[in-house]
Structure 1
Amino acid sequence: MDNTFCISRDDFIKKIRPFIGKNIVKILSGIRRCGKSVMLRLIQQELLVNGVENANILAMNFDTFEDNTSQSPEALYAIIKQKAQAAKGKVYVFLDEIQVLPGWEKLVNSCFTELNADIYVSGSNSQMLSPEYATYLGGRYVMFTVYPFSFKEAVSAFKLYGKNLAPKEAFAHYLVYGGMPFIYQLNFDDFSIRQYLRDIADSILLKDITARYNIRDVELLKRIILFLFSNIGNMFSTVSIQNYLKRDKRNLSWETIHNYIDHCKTACLLLPVKQESISGKQLLKAAEKIYITDHGLREAIYGNNRNDISQVLENIVYLELLRNDYNVTVGKAGLNEIDFIARKNNETVYIQVAYLLASPETIEREFSVYARVTDNFPKYVLSLDEFDMSRNGIKHINIVDFLTSGQGVYI
């Protein structure tokens, strides 16, 4: 059994626990190797602890040879039906990486409507429930996004594998290598970590993007991904990508560039953030930033996480907000930009992210962006500084404290 099974991802389990055993399909979506399979096993463990018999649990992984697409949905349904008929009471069905199975949505719907089954599905595709798929399930599902380790989970992983690091040292590692669970078993070996992360990136590129969308010019797709990796946290446009490609005498249409980016989003690799006007409170068309689901992949493919620390810190904070179920946009206030406007449960919080507040000019720049914000919702500046520089009602917090204490403490 994978040792990551021993790391309790409590924040996620708390979200899914109210739905365990309920008459609704549970769907887990997320990038490859982020821990979806482990989450399914943690749910199975919870079932066993609560008295469910092992004979009532059926788990299949479609990313392996044994359970791959060589079996039709009809054949798989027959297997599940046999299990359900033999079980005493409800059968608990776990279908891992099911997106590779053509017709999976019909299989799930049949199990849901015809069998006494509690169904859990995972996949590396953010659009598993596109309109045609959702039609089959008729709204009888709940969706959860699984992300790589948060910094808090990374610290737990360090301890599990015998590395009781000081917060600064742990964060220095996390900043470079990210949160893909398996890397914490690699004993800080830089070569092995980078090789593993490159292999993940290749799998996403080849299986989840190139093969799925029948892309022929893989090298051109790689160039676009490299450009976006280098520009996380920056506003981007198709024109900037076209200009980037023209340096190598390559041309690509506006539509194709957008398609490639959408494919990367669907593969859970890239995360878009819309920009909104502070004054009008409306989203601005064609204004978008891109972040990456795991900044360790950026280091493995592009490098420079230490040099581009401000961008990477933004990425880390953004992922932390998503993990805590915030709806996030970028704020536009005149000529200034507020890194994140995060909303949940009718509450709003404004967050500005900086590396260090190392000069009066930097302090003024980071705090003054709130001058045009007239509401009374909380406003924060996050940085790696250890001294509290809060002023004018704007709270300054050290980023490591923000991540380890849990951002819910502040909001």
Structure 2
Amino acid sequence: MKKKEILKTIIREFHASEIPSLVKRDVEVPIASGKIISIIGPRRSGKTYFLYQLISTIVESTSNKENILYINFEDERLDLTTEELDLILQAYRELYPEIDLSKAFFFFDEIQNVNGWEKFIRRIYDSITKNIFITGSNSKMLGDEIATSLRGRTLKYKILPLSFKEFLSFKKFKITLPQDFYDSKIKAKVINLFKEYMLWGGFPEIIFQPESIKMRILQEYFDVMIYRDLIERYSIKDTFVLKYFIKRVAETVSKSLSINKIYNEIKSHGLKVGKNILYEFLEYLENAFLIRKIKKKSHSVLRSEFSDRKAYFIDNGILIAINVFEGQDYGILLENLIFRELYRKSKNLFFHKEKKECDFILEDSFPIQVCFDFSDPAVKKREIKGLVECCRRFNFKKGLIITFDEEDVLNVNGYTFTVVPAYKWLLKKSVN
């Protein structure tokens, strides 16, 4: 079958199919902005279903599904080159010659799979319709690089694995804040659901699976990310070194990441790899939405730029899939989870490390410590000292301590530190 006929089949299949039932995500995207909407995030985080959410909204208002062109570039029947992308428009026009394309809505899922896609999108935007929505699982291709190829024409949105609030919605668990936290039965249920969320993460597909299946699905996700988003995309030959590197990055979550240390470890095993290759691996991991890095905060922008980094994973499910924990290290899982939420809500995130340490700093706002068990006197003393040093260094007046289930307000040396359980903090609209 010719490619144009295949495209017609794919387009008609979409129009004949029912839009799946959806749980609404907490991301607001304008339908008619006059801009190209780019939706980025890790694989399996729900980007396709979010497109369905937008499509459903359009269909409800127009009652015309044929006015929507949806193409998923991960469909195995498609193998389009840059030059063949125009076949999509030809197929759609031939199927629906009566449709005014300037009023049509174009949805292109994982379009990054086709080299040179930017020029195709630019041509559609300039000459056909402004109603364009694209998704991708590579933050560089649909993030940094889109700014140069489609300057001023895009709005970017992130779809990450489920937030805790979205997780509860998927579970059909409704909670009224703050009243329901005074009901011991509801509170106990929230805590149990939070434990599940903290341990397994928020990838939508695993929510209703038994634990044995959850692990298999997460490991499959991880393998796909490794092979499709790293090994294939960047033509990586030494897969053993790559996997070892990823495991070591996972083992340093919550600590400063030392590429030099990992390089020396690899070298000591008799393996040959350049240090620059490891830095490239780190960039690839970030491009594939496996990790995100944060810098050490400094009054000097230059010093901060060349400072230590800490790396966190985009979802706890990936950490579990990598299987770096000998036991259930809830402290690391909680800190990684809090990072994910801060990353979702805030753009500028740092950490503090001098004589003492502070886990996170929201720029020009306040510091945050994450402590699973705040009842241990030695741990409590250490966490507070880190906050006090950070407040003095950057002239903050208040700080936040996020725990598993402890709550308090502390006044220390003129600073106010609010202690809040993670499950309560995650359900707040703001981060403070």
The structure that has the greater radius of gyration is 2
CA distance in 1, matches of 2:95, 2:19: 28
How far 1:247 moved relative to its partner? 4.9
8 Å contact kept, 2:37–2:132 = yes
Q: Secondary structure at the match of 1:185?
A: coil
Q: Where do 1:96-175 residues align within 5 Å?
A: 96-129=109-142, 133-159=146-172, 166-175=189-198
- Residue 230 of structure 1 aligns with which residue? 251
How far 1:191 moved relative to its partner? 1.9
Q: 356, 370, 380: which is aligned to 1:363?
A: 380
8 Å contact kept, 2:81–2:115 = no
Q: Secondary structure at the match of 1:352?
A: strand
Report the residue type matching 2:384 in the other structure.
F
Q: Where do 1:283-302 residues align within 5 Å?
A: 283-302=304-323
CA distance in 2, matches of 1:225, 1:66: 32
Report the residue type matching 2:116 in the other structure.
G
CA distance in 1, matches of 2:109, 2:326: 32
Q: Secondary structure at the match of 1:405?
A: coil
Deviations 1:240-289 (A, max 9, x none): 11233245332321101011111111111111111112x55751514100
- Residue 26 of structure 1 aligns with which residue? 37
Q: Are the structure 2 counterparts of residues 104 and 284 from structure 1 closer, same or farther at C-alpha, using a change threshold of 3 Å?
A: closer
How far 1:331 moved relative to its partner? 2.1
Report the residue type matching 1:220 in the other structure.
V
Aligned length: 394
2:72 matches 1:61: yes
How far 1:385 moved relative to its partner? 3.3
8 Å contact kept, 1:60–1:67 = no
2:107 matches 1:86: no
- Residue 335 of structure 1 aligns with which residue? 355
8 Å contact kept, 1:230–1:302 = no
8 Å contact kept, 2:22–2:49 = no
2:297 matches 1:276: yes
8 Å contact kept, 2:19–2:52 = no
CA distance in 2, matches of 1:78, 1:245: 53
Q: 399, 406, 418: which is aligned to 1:386?
A: 406
Q: Are the structure 2 counterparts of residues 48 and 3 from structure 1 closer, same or farther at C-alpha, using a change threshold of 3 Å?
A: closer
- Residue 13 of structure 2 aligns with which residue? none
Report the residue type matching 2:192 in the other structure.
E
- Residue 9 of structure 2 aligns with which residue? none
- Residue 14 of structure 2 aligns with which residue? none
- Residue 23 of structure 2 aligns with which residue? 7
Q: Secondary structure at the match of 1:64?
A: coil
- Residue 73 of structure 1 aligns with which residue? 85
How far 1:79 moved relative to its partner? 3.4
CA distance in 1, matches of 2:87, 2:126: 17
Structure 1: give runs of 5+ residues left out of the alignment. Answer: none
- TM-score normalised to structure 1 length: 0.88
CA distance in 2, matches of 1:123, 1:258: 23
Report the residue type matching 2:122 in the other structure.
N
The alignment-based identity, stated in percent, is: 25
Q: Are the structure 2 counterparts of residues 21 and 394 from structure 1 closer, same or farther at C-alpha, using a change threshold of 3 Å?
A: same
8 Å contact kept, 2:293–2:310 = yes
8 Å contact kept, 1:305–1:312 = no
CA distance in 2, matches of 1:146, 1:41: 13
CA distance in 2, matches of 1:130, 1:169: 37
Q: Secondary structure at the match of 1:315?
A: helix
CA distance in 2, matches of 1:287, 1:52: 54
- TM-score normalised to structure 2 length: 0.84
Larger mean Cα displacement after TM superposition, 318-327 or 215-224:
318-327
CA distance in 2, matches of 1:271, 1:50: 38
Q: Are the structure 2 counterparts of residues 236 and 49 from structure 1 closer, same or farther at C-alpha, using a change threshold of 3 Å?
A: same
CA distance in 1, matches of 2:33, 2:107: 14
Report the residue type matching 1:231 in the other structure.
T
Q: Are the structure 2 counterparts of residues 364 and 141 from structure 1 closer, same or farther at C-alpha, using a change threshold of 3 Å?
A: same
- Residue 176 of structure 1 aligns with which residue? 199
2:340 matches 1:319: yes
